[in-house]
Structure 1
Amino acid sequence: MVNVVFAPSAVGLSTGNLVVESNDPDEPTVTVALVGEGIIPPDIAVSPDSLYAVLPVNGSTTQIMTINNLGGSPLIFDISEATTLPGVKKIEVVPTRVSRDETIKVLKPTLTKRSTSRTLAPNVHRLPEITPHDFSKTATNPIFPSEDTIYYDDGAGYWYSIAYVYWAQRFTPPQGCKVISALVMTIEPGASCSLFVWDDDGGLPGPLVAGPYSYTGGNWPDWDRIDITTEYIDDNDFWVGIYAPSPPYAIFDEINNAGRTYGSNDGITWDEYTSAGDLMIRAIVDYEYDVVPWLSEDPTSGTIPSGGSMDIQITYNSTGLVEDTVYTAWLKIDSNDPDEPTVNISVKLDVRSDTVPPAVPTLISPEDSSIISDNTPEFIWSSALEPEVSYVLQYALDTNFINGVATVPSLTDTTYVIKIPIADTTFYWRVKAIDSVGNESNYQDHPFSFTVDVDIPSVPALLSPSDSSYINNSTPTFSWGEVTKVTLEVGGQNPGVKGRSLFDEEFSISQAPKITRSKGIPLGTPVTYTLQCALDTGFTNIRIDTSGLTSNTFASDSISDTTYYWRVEAADGAGNHSGFQENPFTFTVDTKPPVAPTLISPEGLAVIDDNTPKFIWGSTAGNYGTYTLEYTLNGEFTSGLVSITGITDTTYEVRSPLIDTTYYWRVKAIDRATNESEWSNTQSFTIDVGVPSVPALLSPSDSSYI
């Protein structure tokens, strides 16, 4: 028979020929056509990568484990259980007490699921020697090739006649095991004895987990083997002991027992026995028992198509388990994935006397939807009101805690201060409590959000009243330039803004995002303003002080006529303040009009022979005031009206000659606050620039005599 192996290096059809040459004279050469197709192999992925459950004694619960096939062909899998990590080398055990420079070892083989036979290296030590007082006799050394034996006796035995009738020997397995049998050696044959298995309780025999098993003792120098019919599994210390009324007597080795041997007269109260060595008791255990009794899975095998998945129901059952104990096992998932043929999933069952989780902490600060100007904020939450509680704090960029999650574990206080400044953006935060036995509260149903904004808004530009202005409005409206900020947006994979880290770098972060800036609604909105108006530049004598203004204008109540100084600062929703202007504006309120000017020239009813007359009046407008001059052809100022405004002097000379006629004129004053006086009294004048003709002489007539 010829084995032909097809190992394609690529996807697709491959062809070839197998040529067989022989000494067959009729057919010396035979050619066999070979055709093979390379397909995309299956690709296993298991979620989650570990399993953990908490139960009280005699409880049960289920979880879901999902097996996915990410490859291009069907995935075939099979699930088995183990109490040690599958595929690892077994532990070599060296007891703590040895004699004559001998090393007593128990060698455990590599785990093979549901194996029926194993090769176990024999216990390496000399045959035990039984020496009651000065009497010596050789005993049979028990070797069980298919079983693991834990023992501490060094092979030399002594018997003692003392008051104790219960004896117990403590065993420490190097890993989880099932106790199968015990080997016991006693002195007096034919005596009625009993065997017990106890769980360890703080270094003493504790709860009885198997037995009593009655047997007839005293078969020395041979061993009595007592099978443990009650299934007992342990991964910590356990005790095997006997009830042996006198006679028979218990047999010990010659080396002090280092705290492993205890005696009792009632099986309840135990005394450490140090006069001799370890009891001649051995424990036969199975490190490769087939079933983890508290764990089951459904289904245990199957086929998953390409791109498909299958949910596996994992069931935990704590019936008969010891409380306040964590049980560990592994799920071994074998499949036809060529790159990962075996996936090992850690499984832990935490059996607790207390399964009540602590209360969910109440979030306090930063408050929900708050905007803060502190980029190293302090998180504060309520206590879970239980002793020895720790907390886990999480903050992230989204309410589902997927993007950029930072986790701070093992906090023993109800506060935490971020140590490295975080970026300006919106965060979500939550806290859960964990009690001393590992019960976890839920996170809050509604996580709190807060926005970090440490960017200071710009100082507003003052607009009105303008600097050094005069106004005649006692209820002025103040206005200033609107302040806008930039928006921080999340996206990408590059953390940090302005040299600041997005997160507290003390802890690992998932999917840290990039923070960019763009125009839009300010991050720290709403921006509000504070307006102050005072009688002095130091703003100690303030007349208007109002804050929280959401508009960039403010209409004041009536203020008196005098000079004022005013300023504005902006504040964002995070409490960042721009500060006031270095140079506040000043303005003067003047609501009193000037008196009407006195007309000087032309005088009233005057007849002048100047057709570009010069108007003159008295000064009343004050500094920076102006005047308005009007002249017309009638006293109602409706005919031929000429109006000249903005005259800064108290004179005005007509530039274009006027016709000879009678004119009426008046003047009013406008001060720098634009207050207007009443019109002055109206005066008239007549222009007459025509030369009269020479009169004709009539009488006495020329040359007449009268």
Structure 2
Amino acid sequence: MKTLNSTLLIMLLFLSFSCDDILEEDITNDNLQTKYPIEGTVVDGNTVQFSWQNLDGADDYRIQIIKSHQVFEMDSLVSTNSLTVTLDSGTYQWRVRGENFAYETAYSFPINFSTQASTNLTDQDVILVSPSDNLYTKNINTIFTWNKLTSVTSYNFELIKKLSGEQTVFQEAEITSNSLTINDTLFDEDAEYIWKVKGLNETSETQYSQRTIFLDRVAPNQPSLTSPADQETTTTTVTFNWTNGTDSGNVKSGITNTIEIASDSNFNSIIHSASTPNNSAQHDFASTGTYYWRIKAIDVATNESDYSIVRSLVAE
């Protein structure tokens, strides 16, 4: 019996360690070698490609870019051994480390480099500011902005509607400011819209920089309650289920469901409210009694459905 107990104890101690800790390679003492930029590099233009050697055992890499006066320009986790970043003219430091689920290396030694304005725009990028990329919205902001790029004399702007193909709905050239206001009637239906800006001077031009807007003005379907059935008697631990139906709009925004549980049918006394991207939720009732529940769906563009019908249950 003592031998059996000892074996069980060893097994329990072994299982107490995370499987990931056991399987992940310990990279704590490994050194990560950087490739570019090297110490003292001066980059012409605003586009910098950072690169470093792959490290066996590292799943991801954390890169930090620090501007003068120790201001963090970037602190990002990436899965590849390179990253292209657009930076304003100035002096910077960068460093990188390897990471996996259980371990991480030390950061590489900080490397100083700088960027400077160049009249050659070929390898530079226009940095777009607003609206943000992959924005889902029901209210279009028709003011588009981007950062000024040194050595650019004018900008070209394009707006493309993507719905069963691509259609250019607006173009404007020789823009001398770093913003543009367009007519909201150009957004004539729910669709994916791509806005693009490039910079030009007398001798060269950038590639287009682009972002996407998803215009979605269709409210989600009214949720349909599945279980528990109306007036069903249950235990005090209840799993609620419902469906949302098929989105009929041109743009399929993600949906978050809000469940509300109340002690009265008018929902004046809500005892629990929670949001979930799923179609199921569980709740433990503190006391027995009759309760009421309903669901509302809200999509990423902030369109809201009607509340579902109200059902009651008796928790015993």
Contact (CA 8 Å) 1:361, 1:381: kept in 2 or not? no
The AA in structure 1 aligned to 2:192 is T
Equivalent residue for 1:482? 244
Output aligned runs, 1:25-174, within 5 Å.
none
Equivalent residue for 1:543? 271
Equivalent residue for 2:223? 460
Cα drift, residue 533 of structure 1: 0.9
Going from structure 1 to structure 2, the CA distance change for 1:586 and 1:418 (only over 3 Å counts) comes to farther
Equivalent residue for 1:579? 306
Equivalent residue for 2:83? none
Pair 1:429 & 2:195 matched: yes
For the residues of structure 2 that align with 1:562 and 1:418, how far apart are their CA atoms? 56
Going from structure 1 to structure 2, the CA distance change for 1:559 and 1:413 (only over 3 Å counts) comes to same
Going from structure 1 to structure 2, the CA distance change for 1:418 and 1:443 (only over 3 Å counts) comes to farther
1:419 pairs with one of 181, 184, 201: 184
1:131-180 Cα shifts (integer Å, max 9, x gaps): xxxxxxxxxxxxxxxxxxxxxxxxxxxxxxxxxxxxxxxxxxxxxxxxxx
Going from structure 1 to structure 2, the CA distance change for 1:537 and 1:558 (only over 3 Å counts) comes to closer
**Which protein has the bigger strand share?**
2
Say which SS state the counterpart of residue 556 (structure 1) adopts.
Answer: strand
Equivalent residue for 2:134? 369
The AA in structure 1 aligned to 2:238 is P
Q: TM-score, normalised by structure 2?
A: 0.51
Q: TM-score, normalised by structure 1?
A: 0.25
Going from structure 1 to structure 2, the CA distance change for 1:416 and 1:391 (only over 3 Å counts) comes to farther
2:145 pairs with one of 381, 385, 399: 381
For the residues of structure 2 that align with 1:448 and 1:474, how far apart are their CA atoms? 49
For the residues of structure 2 that align with 1:428 and 1:388, how far apart are their CA atoms? 22
Output aligned runs, 1:124-523, within 5 Å.
356-357=120-121, 360-374=125-139, 376-385=140-149, 390-397=154-161, 403-411=167-175, 412-420=177-185, 421-434=187-200, 438=202, 441-444=205-208, 447-467=210-230, 469-486=231-248, 488=250, 523=251
The AA in structure 2 aligned to 1:530 is T
The AA in structure 1 aligned to 2:259 is L
For the residues of structure 2 that align with 1:383 and 1:555, how far apart are their CA atoms? 48
Gaps of at least 5 residues in structure 2 are 1-117
Cα drift, residue 552 of structure 1: 2.0
Contact (CA 8 Å) 2:131, 2:145: kept in 1 or not? no
Equivalent residue for 2:98? none
1:440-489 Cα shifts (integer Å, max 9, x gaps): 641346x322322111112112333333x14231111212233211363x
The number of residue pairs the alignment matches comes to: 194
1:297-322 Cα shifts (integer Å, max 9, x gaps): xxxxxxxxxxxxxxxxxxxxxxxxxx
Pair 1:553 & 2:280 matched: yes
Deviates more, 1:479-488 or 1:387-396: 387-396
1:588-619 Cα shifts (integer Å, max 9, x gaps): 32x2xxxxxxxxxxxxxxxxxxxxxxxxxxxx
For the residues of structure 2 that align with 1:535 and 1:389, how far apart are their CA atoms? 65
1:527 pairs with one of 230, 238, 255: 255
Cα drift, residue 407 of structure 1: 0.9
Contact (CA 8 Å) 2:239, 2:281: kept in 1 or not? yes
1:371-414 Cα shifts (integer Å, max 9, x gaps): 2223x34353332155995432212246xx97435213344342
Gaps of at least 5 residues in structure 1 are 1-353, 489-522, 592-706
The AA in structure 1 aligned to 2:225 is L
Say which SS state the counterpart of residue 184 (structure 2) adopts.
Answer: coil
For the residues of structure 2 that align with 1:362 and 1:527, how far apart are their CA atoms? 30
For the residues of structure 1 that align with 2:180 and 2:204, how far apart are their CA atoms? 18
1:1-20 Cα shifts (integer Å, max 9, x gaps): xxxxxxxxxxxxxxxxxxxx
Equivalent residue for 2:291? 564
Going from structure 1 to structure 2, the CA distance change for 1:527 and 1:402 (only over 3 Å counts) comes to closer
For the residues of structure 1 that align with 2:152 and 2:312, how far apart are their CA atoms? 64
For the residues of structure 1 that align with 2:249 and 2:305, how far apart are their CA atoms? 17
Equivalent residue for 2:34? none
Contact (CA 8 Å) 1:532, 1:567: kept in 2 or not? yes
Say which SS state the counterpart of residue 284 (structure 2) adopts.
Answer: coil
Say which SS state the counterpart of residue 551 (structure 1) adopts.
Answer: coil
Equivalent residue for 1:645? none
**Which protein has the bigger helix share?**
2
For the residues of structure 1 that align with 2:284 and 2:130, how far apart are their CA atoms? 40
Contact (CA 8 Å) 1:364, 1:381: kept in 2 or not? yes
Cα drift, residue 543 of structure 1: 2.1
For the residues of structure 1 that align with 2:229 and 2:166, how far apart are their CA atoms? 53
Cα drift, residue 429 of structure 1: 1.9
1:234-275 Cα shifts (integer Å, max 9, x gaps): xxxxxxxxxxxxxxxxxxxxxxxxxxxxxxxxxxxxxxxxxx
Going from structure 1 to structure 2, the CA distance change for 1:402 and 1:478 (only over 3 Å counts) comes to closer
Going from structure 1 to structure 2, the CA distance change for 1:458 and 1:402 (only over 3 Å counts) comes to closer
For the residues of structure 2 that align with 1:546 and 1:440, how far apart are their CA atoms? 54
Contact (CA 8 Å) 1:457, 1:577: kept in 2 or not? yes
Say which SS state the counterpart of residue 155 (structure 2) adopts.
Answer: strand
Contact (CA 8 Å) 2:129, 2:147: kept in 1 or not? no
Say which SS state the counterpart of residue 287 (structure 2) adopts.
Answer: coil
The AA in structure 1 aligned to 2:263 is L
The AA in structure 2 aligned to 1:382 is W
Cα drift, residue 367 of structure 1: 2.9
Say which SS state the counterpart of residue 260 (structure 2) adopts.
Answer: strand
Going from structure 1 to structure 2, the CA distance change for 1:419 and 1:472 (only over 3 Å counts) comes to closer
The AA in structure 1 aligned to 2:159 is Y
1:507-564 Cα shifts (integer Å, max 9, x gaps): xxxxxxxxxxxxxxxx3243231111122345343222111x2332222234421222
Output aligned runs, 1:609-688, within 5 Å.
none
Aligned Cα root-mean-square deviation (Å): 3.3
For the residues of structure 2 that align with 1:450 and 1:473, how far apart are their CA atoms? 46
Going from structure 1 to structure 2, the CA distance change for 1:474 and 1:418 (only over 3 Å counts) comes to farther
Cα drift, residue 422 of structure 1: 2.7
Going from structure 1 to structure 2, the CA distance change for 1:361 and 1:402 (only over 3 Å counts) comes to same
For the residues of structure 1 that align with 2:264 and 2:220, how far apart are their CA atoms? 26
Say which SS state the counterpart of residue 565 (structure 1) adopts.
Answer: strand
For the residues of structure 1 that align with 2:268 and 2:130, how far apart are their CA atoms? 36
